[in-house]
Structure 1
Amino acid sequence: MRDYCPVSVPRYGRYTPRLRASRTVHFPNDVVFQDHIKQGDLEQVGRFIRARKVTLDTIYPSGMAALHEAVLTGNLDCVKLLVKYGADIHQRDENGWTPLHMACSDGYADIARYLLSLGASLEATTDDGEKPSDLIDPEYEDLVQLFGATALR
């Protein structure tokens, strides 16, 4: 009786079985772009924008645009890069939140300060009627001071 080897492949004449090429997975540009934003990879973010592989005002399945995603990472340099290339600081996500709402909610005073310097609205309300200042946790002293100072202007 012959030895049995489950991985042996019989040969028929000149025919030699080909091994299948390894498969690759390709993700849509928007998904890859979002990942670069979340990773803070400014070089790749810039490349995608310059190559016009993405549009900055697209609302992703997460319900947010690129600028919202960058704010949530807390990466001021990424926020600045997106704004430099035309991201709208007034754009709303699917719940009516602006990037300033997100910066206030998550305690990113440096990003909030930057957005305010560009004219982000203090009076913008979410779908639930909340202003950015309504979302500030009292523990975020920098934001409390920033919005206390802005309210006096």
Structure 2
Amino acid sequence: MKYSYQYPVSQYTRPSTYTPATHYTPSLYSHKQYSTSSYSPSSYSSVKYTPTYYTPPSYTPAYKTTSTYTPISSKPSRRGSAAPAQRAPTVPVKPAKAVRFTNDVLFQDHIRHGELELIGRFMRARKVRLDTIFHSGMAALHEAVLSGNLECVKLLIKYGADVHQRDEDGWTPLHMACSDGYPEIARYLLSLGASAEAENENGEKPADLIDPNCRELSKLFEVGCV
């Protein structure tokens, strides 16, 4: 064997210089100096950890909440307290002025609607003249012919309307009846002597204004019939 623990270490030397004198004993560390008795679990006291929760600070709004608002109308009245709130002055509303129409305008409207009773009242009261030219450019008899109301035409003629009356364009009531296709009114006017040869400002006779499709008027103005 190369190494034998039977021999002391001192006998194992190199022939030269190194001869360990003693065993190596560390002076700093010794297992005898360390004692577990110095460690006592009782000396360790663990502090119980109590977590702290975040609590936000209370928020106070700068404006007043709606719960503190009390309308004036809901406040109980107290005698001797502060004066009541002044109301805005009430501005009186002026009633609208009634629109008043002239007798000519009212009479023209009665003719257009065939209101025979009202027409008779106007005529008996002499509120209008039958030869008056209205703003429409026509006289009362022209308006009656345009409405197609034969009874209204008869009533106006009864009160003195002229069958030869001309409007601002030179049209007679017969011109109106032929132009608008009222054969009954045209026949009635012809029976009262209305002229079939009367010409308006454009040189047109009543027969020139007849619609060719209106056969009844065309036959009325055939040669020899008028």
TM-score, structure 1 as length reference: 0.86
Are 2:178 and 1:104 equivalent residues in the alignment?
yes
Supply the RMSD in Å over aligned alpha carbons: 1.9
CA deviations over 1:54-81 (Å, ceiling 9, x no partner): 0000011111000000000000000000
Q: Find out whether 1:75 has 2:149 as its counterpart.
A: yes
Q: Give the aligned partner of residue 40 of structure 1.
A: 114
CA distance in 2, matches of 1:139, 1:9: 71
Higher relative contact order (CA 8 A, sep 6+): 1
Please report how far the alpha carbon of residue 19 of structure 1 lies from its aligned counterpart in structure 2 after TM superposition.
4.8
Which residue of structure 2 aligns with residue 116 of structure 1? 190
When the two structures are aligned, how many residues end up with a matched partner? 143
Shift of 1:10: 2.4
1:24 and 2:98 correspond: yes
- Which amino acid counterpart does residue 217 of structure 2 have in structure 1? L
1:75/1:152 CA distance change after superposition, 3 Å: closer
Between the aligned partners of 1:22 and 1:78, the Cα distance in structure 2 is 35
Change (3 A) 1:64 1:9: farther
Structure of greater Rg: 2
CA drift of 1:43 comes to 0.6
TM-score (norm 2): 0.59
Report the residue type matching 1:64 in the other structure: M
Q: Percent identity?
A: 65
Deviation (angstroms), 1:145: 1.1
1:9 to 1:148, Cα distance in 2 relative to 1, 3 A: farther
Give 1 or 2: higher helix fraction.
1
Quote the offset at 1:21 in angstroms. 3.6
> Take 2:125 and 2:179, find their aligned partners in 1: how far apart are those partners?
33
Which runs of structure 1 show a deviation greater than 4 angstroms over 4 or more consecutive aligned residues? Answer: none
The Cα of 1:140 is off from its aligned counterpart by 1.1
